[in-house]
A and B are shown apart, each in its own frame.
Chain A
Amino acid sequence: MKPGKPEKTTSLAFSNLVVSRLGGETITLCYQCGTCASSCPVAKITERFNPREVIKLSLLGEKDEVISGDAIWLCCSCYNCQERCPQKVEIGDVIYALRNIAFKEGYIPDVYSKFASAILNDGRIVQVSKFVENKRPALGLPPLQPTGIDALRKILSATGFDKLQKKKEETP
Chain B
Amino acid sequence: MEEAKVGVFLSDCGNKISEILDFNALANYVKNVSGVVVVKRNSEFWRGEGLQTIVDTVKSGKINRVVVAECLPKLSEVKIVQAVEKAGLNPYLVEVIDLKDHCAWPHRKTPSEATEKAKAMLLAAIERAKLLEPIEKLEFPAVKSALIIGGGIAGIQTAVDLADLSFKVNLVEKAPFLGGLAARAGRFFPTDDCAICIQSPTSDVKTITHTSRKCVYRSGFSEIPDLNILTNSKVVAVEGVPGNYKVTIEKKPRYVNELKCVRCDLCTAVCPVKVPDEYNAKLKTRKAIYMNVPNVHPPVYVIDESVCRFHDCAKCVEVCPTDAIELDQKSERITLNVGSIIVATGFQEFDSNVIKEYHYGDYPDVITNLELARMVDGFGPTGGVIVRPSNRKPAKKIVMIQCVGSRDRRYNAYCSSICCMVSLKHAALIKSAYPGADITICYIDIRTTGREHEDYYERAREMGVKFVKGRPTEISRDPETGKLIVDVEDALLKRFLELEADLVVLAPAMVPAEGTKELAEILGLELDKDGFFKEYNAKLRPTETRLRGIYLCGGATFPKDAPTTSLHAHSAAIKAAKLLTTGKIVKDQRTAVVNEEYCGDCEFCPVTCPYGAISLVPTTEEHFVARVSDLLCEGCGVCVGTCPLNAIELRHSRPNQMLAQMKALMSVNGTPKPLVLAICCSECGHTAVDSSGMAMMQYPANVRVMKVPCTGILQVHQFLEAFRAGAQGVMVVGCKSDGCHYEVGVEKAEKKVQLARVLLKEYGIEPERLAMFNMVFIEGDKFAEAAQMMTERLEKLGPLQLMGGS
Which residues of A come within 8 Å of B, CB atoms? 29, 31-35, 37-39, 43-44, 47, 50, 52-53, 80, 84, 86-88
Contacts and interface: CB of A to CB of B under 8 A. Distances in A.
Given A34-B491, A37-B489, A86 B470 contact: no
Given A34-B470, A39-B474, A86-B410, A50 B494 contact: yes
A32 B489 CA distance: 11
A38 B488 contact: yes
B407 interface: yes
B747 interface: no
Given A86-B407, A86-B471, A38 B444 contact: no
Contacts of B472: 35, 38
Interface in B115-133: none
Contact of A52 (B407, B445, B474, B491): B491
Contacts of B410: 86, 88
A86 B488 contact: no
Contacts of A52: 489, 491
B471 A35 contact: yes
A44 B498 CA distance: 11
Interface string B471-492: 1111000000000000111110
B489 A34 contact: yes
B768 interface: no
Given A50-B494, A87-B409, A88-B409, A31 B444 contact: yes
B639 interface: no
A50 B403 CA distance: 22
Contacts of B434: none
Nearest to B472: A38
A32 B445 CA distance: 10
Contacts of B494: 47, 50, 53
A35 B472 CA distance: 6
Contact of B471 (A33, A43, A80): A33
B164 to A, nearest CB: 45
B408 A38 contact: no
Nearest to A81: B473
B357 A37 contact: no
B496 interface: yes
B469 interface: yes
A31 B487 contact: no
A32 B403 CA distance: 13
A87 B412 CA distance: 10
B470 A38 contact: yes
A38 B403 contact: no
Given A32-B444, A50-B494, A86-B408, 18 more contacts: A31-B407, A32-B491, A33-B470, A34-B469, A34-B471, A34-B489, A35-B472, A35-B473, A37-B491, A38-B472, A38-B473, A38-B489, A47-B494, A50-B489, A80-B473, A86-B403, A87-B407, A88-B409
14 contacts: A31-B445, A33-B470, A34-B470, A34-B471, A34-B490, A37-B491, A38-B488, A44-B496, A47-B494, A50-B489, A53-B494, A84-B473, A86-B408, A87-B409
Nearest 3 CB-CB pairings of A with B: A33-B471, A86-B408, A38-B473
Contacts of B470: 33-35, 37-38
Count class of interface residues, chain B: 20 to 34
A50 B488 CA distance: 13
B488 A34 contact: yes
A2 B489 CA distance: 22
Interface of B: 357, 403, 407-410, 444-445, 469-474, 487-491, 494, 496
Given A34-B489, A37-B489, A38-B487, A29 B474 contact: no
A35 B474 CA distance: 9
B474 A33 contact: no
Most buried by A among B409, B410, B473, B487: B473
A80 B474 CA distance: 11
A43 B496 contact: yes
Contact of A38 (B407, B409, B496): B496
Nearest to B405: A86
Most buried by B among A33, A52, A53, A88: A33
Most buried by B among A31, A38, A44, A80: A38
Contacts of A38: 470-474, 487-489, 496
Contact of A39 (B407, B473, B490, B491): B473
Contacts of B357: 84
Nearest to A26: B409
A47 to B, nearest CB: 8
A43 B410 CA distance: 24
Contacts of A44: 496
Contacts of A50: 489, 494
A7 to B, nearest CB: 20
A52 B403 CA distance: 18
A65 B281 CA distance: 51
Contacts of B407: 31, 86-87
B122 to A, nearest CB: 53
A39 B487 CA distance: 8
B81 to A, nearest CB: 52
Contacts of A84: 357, 473
A56 B565 CA distance: 38
B414 to A, nearest CB: 12
Nearest to A83: B357
B403 to A, nearest CB: 7
Contacts of B488: 34, 38
Nearest to A53: B494
Nearest to A52: B491
Nearest to B469: A34
Nearest to B471: A33
Nearest to B444: A33
A86 B409 contact: yes
Most buried by B among A29, A34, A50, A80: A34
Contacts of A86: 403, 407-410, 471
Contacts of A33: 403, 444, 470-471, 491
Contacts of B491: 32-34, 37, 52
